[in-house]
Amino acid sequence: DTGVSQDPRHKITKRGQNVTFRCDPISEHNRLYWYRQTLGQGPEFLTYFQNEAQLEKSRLLSDRFSAERPKGSFSTLEIQRTEQGDSAMYLCASSFLQANYGYTFGSGTRLTVV
Protein backbone atom coordinates (compact mmCIF):
# COMPACT_ATOMS: atom_id res chain seq x y z
CA ASP A 1 0.00 0.00 0.00
CA THR A 2 1.52 3.28 -1.11
CA GLY A 3 -0.43 5.61 1.13
CA VAL A 4 -3.27 8.00 0.41
CA SER A 5 -3.69 8.86 -3.28
CA GLN A 6 -5.50 11.87 -4.65
CA ASP A 7 -6.45 12.56 -8.22
CA PRO A 8 -6.03 14.86 -10.03
CA ARG A 9 -3.05 16.70 -8.55
CA HIS A 10 -4.03 19.92 -10.27
CA LYS A 11 -7.29 21.15 -11.74
CA ILE A 12 -7.97 24.42 -13.50
CA THR A 13 -11.60 25.13 -14.21
CA LYS A 14 -13.76 28.00 -15.33
CA ARG A 15 -16.12 29.60 -12.88
CA GLY A 16 -19.48 27.89 -12.91
CA GLN A 17 -18.17 24.48 -13.94
CA ASN A 18 -18.46 21.36 -11.82
CA VAL A 19 -15.39 19.48 -10.62
CA THR A 20 -14.87 16.15 -8.91
CA PHE A 21 -11.86 14.96 -6.95
CA ARG A 22 -11.03 11.44 -5.90
CA CYS A 23 -9.26 10.10 -2.83
CA ASP A 24 -8.05 6.53 -2.34
CA PRO A 25 -7.25 5.97 1.33
CA ILE A 26 -4.99 3.37 2.88
CA SER A 27 -7.00 0.20 2.43
CA GLU A 28 -7.38 -0.80 6.08
CA HIS A 29 -8.26 2.71 7.22
CA ASN A 30 -11.93 3.08 8.01
CA ARG A 31 -11.97 6.84 8.58
CA LEU A 32 -11.56 9.32 5.76
CA TYR A 33 -11.37 13.09 6.07
CA TRP A 34 -11.48 15.98 3.63
CA TYR A 35 -9.74 19.27 4.41
CA ARG A 36 -9.31 22.49 2.49
CA GLN A 37 -6.22 24.65 2.67
CA THR A 38 -6.01 28.17 1.31
CA LEU A 39 -2.83 30.17 0.91
CA GLY A 40 -1.23 31.11 4.20
CA GLN A 41 -3.72 29.13 6.27
CA GLY A 42 -3.73 25.76 7.92
CA PRO A 43 -5.94 22.97 6.61
CA GLU A 44 -9.60 23.33 7.60
CA PHE A 45 -11.88 20.38 8.21
CA LEU A 46 -14.65 19.84 5.67
CA THR A 47 -16.15 16.42 6.34
CA TYR A 48 -15.38 12.88 7.43
CA PHE A 49 -16.57 9.35 6.81
CA GLN A 50 -16.47 6.30 8.97
CA ASN A 51 -16.66 3.46 6.50
CA GLU A 52 -19.36 4.56 4.05
CA ALA A 53 -21.23 6.81 6.47
CA GLN A 54 -20.68 10.56 6.31
CA LEU A 55 -20.83 11.46 9.99
CA GLU A 56 -19.91 15.14 10.14
CA LYS A 57 -19.90 18.13 7.83
CA SER A 58 -18.32 21.51 8.52
CA ARG A 59 -20.24 24.71 7.99
CA LEU A 60 -17.61 25.39 5.32
CA LEU A 61 -19.24 22.68 3.22
CA SER A 62 -21.90 24.68 1.40
CA ASP A 63 -24.69 23.01 -0.53
CA ARG A 64 -22.54 23.22 -3.67
CA PHE A 65 -20.23 20.64 -2.13
CA SER A 66 -21.01 16.96 -1.88
CA ALA A 67 -18.88 14.05 -0.79
CA GLU A 68 -19.41 10.34 -1.07
CA ARG A 69 -17.63 7.20 -0.03
CA PRO A 70 -19.41 4.30 -1.69
CA LYS A 71 -18.69 0.91 -0.10
CA GLY A 72 -16.35 2.54 2.39
CA SER A 73 -13.44 2.56 -0.01
CA PHE A 74 -12.47 5.55 -2.18
CA SER A 75 -14.16 8.91 -1.74
CA THR A 76 -15.16 11.67 -4.12
CA LEU A 77 -15.63 15.36 -3.43
CA GLU A 78 -17.71 17.27 -5.96
CA ILE A 79 -18.02 21.02 -6.19
CA GLN A 80 -20.86 22.33 -8.31
CA ARG A 81 -20.97 25.77 -9.92
CA THR A 82 -17.44 26.56 -8.85
CA GLU A 83 -16.58 30.06 -7.62
CA GLN A 84 -13.22 31.79 -7.44
CA GLY A 85 -13.33 31.45 -3.66
CA ASP A 86 -13.21 27.68 -4.08
CA SER A 87 -9.62 27.93 -5.27
CA ALA A 88 -7.62 26.01 -2.69
CA MET A 89 -5.72 22.81 -2.00
CA TYR A 90 -8.11 19.98 -1.14
CA LEU A 91 -6.52 17.41 1.13
CA CYS A 92 -7.70 13.93 1.95
CA ALA A 93 -6.55 12.01 5.01
CA SER A 94 -7.34 8.57 6.36
CA SER A 95 -6.94 6.85 9.68
CA PHE A 96 -7.74 3.62 11.44
CA LEU A 97 -10.40 4.00 14.09
CA GLN A 98 -8.59 1.87 16.61
CA ALA A 99 -5.32 3.73 16.18
CA ASN A 100 -6.14 7.18 17.37
CA TYR A 101 -4.41 10.08 15.72
CA GLY A 102 -2.61 8.00 13.11
CA TYR A 103 -3.64 10.20 10.22
CA THR A 104 -2.05 9.90 6.78
CA PHE A 105 -2.53 12.69 4.28
CA GLY A 106 -2.54 12.55 0.52
CA SER A 107 -0.66 15.04 -1.62
CA GLY A 108 -3.78 17.03 -2.29
CA THR A 109 -5.60 18.40 -5.31
CA ARG A 110 -4.82 22.01 -6.18
CA LEU A 111 -7.96 23.66 -7.60
CA THR A 112 -7.76 26.94 -9.48
CA VAL A 113 -11.01 28.57 -10.56
CA VAL A 114 -10.55 31.18 -13.29
Nearest distance from C-beta of residue 21 to another protein, angstroms = 13
Q: Which residues bind another protein (CB under 8 A)?
A: 4, 6, 9, 31, 33, 35, 40-45, 48, 50, 55-56, 91, 93, 95, 100-101, 103-108, 110
Nearest distance from C-beta of residue 66 to another protein, angstroms = 18
47, β-bridge pairs: 34, 57
The secondary structure of the chain, three-state, reads CCCCEEECCEEEECCCCCEEEEEECCCCCCEEEEEEECCCCCCEEEEEEECCEEEEECCCCCCCEEEECHHHCCEEEEECCCCHHHCEEEEEEEECCCCCCCCEECCCEEEEEC
Nearest distance from C-beta of residue 81 to another protein, angstroms = 26
Choice between 48 and 113, CB closer to another protein: 48
Choice between 57 and 80, CB closer to another protein: 57
Choice between 74 and 80, CB closer to another protein: 74
Nearest distance from C-beta of residue 110 to another protein, angstroms = 7
